[in-house]
Structure 1
Amino acid sequence: MSIFSFHYRLERHALRFVIAIICVAAVGGMVEIAPLFTIGETVEAAPDMRLYTPLEVAGRNIYIREGCYACHSQMIRTLRDEVERYGPYSLAVESKYDHPMLWGSKRTGPDLARVGGKYSDEWHVAHLNNPRDVVSVSVMPAYRFLKRTALRTDDLGRHLATLRKVGVPYTDAMIEHATKDAIAQATPGTDDAGLQERYGGATQIRAFDGNTGEVTEMDALVAYLQILGHLTDAAAKEQAAWEKAGAAGAIPTAAGE
């Protein structure tokens, strides 16, 4: 009996067809749901994982608002050509605090998972102001209005509080000082001791758009782009472990081993 004949006979019996649909849906559901029960074993450990600062959260929100994720992925696959072009392949833990995650699959532009630190702030500002000034063949629209638009900071505490509800471990102090911390990060010379205490001494503090007079949406977006790939060193450590194991003819059993 051919598959077409079987399907034709199945369609003629409504009850059998409904049962078949339920069975197929159940199998598909288990395939999607079962891995969630082992998520704790499959997500890599990253003790050095740090949180986005309020300014970086604002930049991420702008990145989503402007639809940047539609043309830029943030997921480097394990293919050799991708690793050689973009850097260590992406790990699940790197998106641990991303809500929503921005992995993506469409690359009208390059992957941005490790763009942080690859270019200067000035390059990013020039690129966002007019992409053709730095990449002549770019089809990306200009976002020069970002440098003219003051960043709204009064609601950042609520943004952090919402992220805490979905599992991001922001503290009460982080939420309370969100507005102050966002301004301090983009305004060198202000009281940034609390910012570094809450988010770490390696927190990038500078006028990302080159203007110390006002905190703009350009500041926020560039701050976000400059931290991508640097929330944890887990991926770099994993790649180093695999390269070392490959040279020795062995395969590591876990990240960093």
Structure 2
Amino acid sequence: MSEPLHGRLERTAVGFMLAIVVAGSVGGLVEIAPLFTIHETVEDAPDMRVYTPLEAAGRNIYVREGCYACHSQMIRTLRDEVERYGPYSLAVESKYDHPMLWGSKRTGPDLARIGGKYSDLWHVAHLINPREVVPESNMPSYQWLATTPLDLADLRDQVAALRTVGVPYTDDMVANAPADAFGQANPDSEQSSGVTERYGQDTQVSAFDGVKTRVTEMDAMVAYLQVLGRLTKAAYQNTAAPEQMPNPNN
């Protein structure tokens, strides 16, 4: 009875090494080849905008606090998910996300389309004491966000870092990052007009935490949550408008 091929390969170091190279090359090709056609698979979204400095800071806090460990941001194409959360997630909606926060763990609901579903103060109350608004919640409290000042001076470097990985921030956006973060959280301030000028009229300018005399990490977190699913309307082109979609916590 003849010896099987793998047996002969294992007897020859050179042959075995070549077999490993071939197998690795095939696996690598399968992973790398799609990247050359990625421009054909990512949807076109002319209305897509970048995160404001305040929203980007909120996203960093969201990552820092490990929120992604319990909340995914990726609605699948399954019927029950679409009926509960809204239109399934598109690749273009994560175009400026570094890192991606798609995830698969759902101790809490998916947050891909949480933006605009609740008021700013609802989010503040939920983050301070989750059980005050959702009695059955097992989410921990993040009350310190409301008393921790946001480091505005660091935002210019944060925005500049995002630009180095492909997010199209302009020099004007980078230079005005601290002022824009302050202005977005203080609608009565002189800096607030610059936010809509640089990021668009649909950008939400609000005293997110309810206090206009300061900018806290709570402001940043709520600003980020309120923009989730609202950077582009591409997912709603063939479906209902955002305000018509079902409540994600039902």
Q: TM-score, normalised by structure 2?
A: 0.91
Matches within 5 A, 1:197-216: 197-216=197-216
Higher relative contact order (CA 8 A, sep 6+): 2
Distance 2:239 2:15 in 1: 51
Match of 1:222 in 2: 222
Distance 1:145 1:6 in 2: 64
Q: CA deviation digits over 1:90-146, x for unaligned, max 9?
A: 111111111111111111111110000111112111111111222222222110000
Is structure 2 residue 178 aligned with structure 1 residue 179? Answer: yes
Shift of 1:15: 2.5
Match of 1:15 in 2: 14
User: Which blocks of at least 5 consecutive residues in structure 2 are unaligned?
Assistant: 241-250
CA distance 1:239–1:25, change in 2 (3 Å) = farther
CA distance 1:203–1:161, change in 2 (3 Å) = same
Is structure 2 residue 80 aligned with structure 1 residue 87? Answer: no
Shift of 1:7: 4.3
Stretch deviating more after TM superposition (143-152 or 21-30): 21-30
Distance 1:85 1:14 in 2: 56
User: Which blocks of at least 5 consecutive residues in structure 1 are unaligned?
Assistant: 241-257
Match of 1:188 in 2: 187
Match of 1:248 in 2: none
Q: Which amino acid aligns with 1:157?
A: R
Matches within 5 A, 1:1-257: 7-191=6-190, 192-239=192-239
Please give the secondary structure, in 1, of the residue aligned with 2:135: coil
Match of 1:251 in 2: none
Shift of 1:239: 4.2
Distance 1:168 1:28 in 2: 30
Shift of 1:156: 0.7
Distance 1:93 1:76 in 2: 13
Match of 2:247 in 1: none
Shift of 1:21: 1.4
Conserved 8 A contact 2:183-2:193: no
Conserved 8 A contact 2:49-2:232: yes
Shift of 1:201: 1.0
Shift of 1:227: 0.3
Q: TM-score, normalised by structure 1?
A: 0.88
Distance 2:45 2:81 in 1: 23
Sequence identity of aligned pairs in percent?
69
Shift of 1:6: 5.2
